[in-house]
């Protein structure tokens, strides 16, 4: 496939980038938001005790 043909599918580099990463970025953001919500549900003491657990589970 030539470069010209490739860019025939996308109007610009930004659209190409979005097509490549948008779905994955949304999934990562969803995990982050879920971890943040779970962390917020913990009491202050539990937050101090489980900070690395909550962050680690999100990264997995």
Q: Are 43 and 59 in contact (CB under 8 A)?
A: no
Q: How confident is the model at residue 25 (pLDDT cuts 50, 70, 90)?
A: very high
According to the model, what pLDDT value does residue 13 have? 87
Q: Looking at residues 32-58, what average pLDDT do you find? A: 79
Residue with tokens 């549900």: 41
Residue with tokens 């097509």: 19
State CA 25 to chain mean position distance. Answer: 4
Residue with tokens 């980038």: 17
Q: Looking at residues 38-59, what average pLDDT do you find? A: 76
Q: Are 31 and 58 in contact (CB under 8 A)?
A: yes
By the 10 Å C-beta count (0-12 exposed, 13-18 middle, 19+ buried), 60 is classed as exposed
Q: Looking at residues 31-56, what average pLDDT do you find? A: 80
Residue 55, pLDDT above cutoff 80:
no
According to the model, what pLDDT value does residue 36 have? 84
């Amino acid at each position: 496939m030539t470069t010209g043909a490739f860019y025939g599918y996308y109007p610009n580099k930004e659209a190409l980038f979005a097509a490549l990463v948008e779905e994955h970025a949304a999934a990562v953001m969803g995990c982050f938001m879920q971890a943040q919500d779970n962390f917020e549900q913990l009491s202050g003491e539990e937050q101090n005790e489980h900070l690395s657990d909550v962050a680690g589970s999100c990264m997995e």
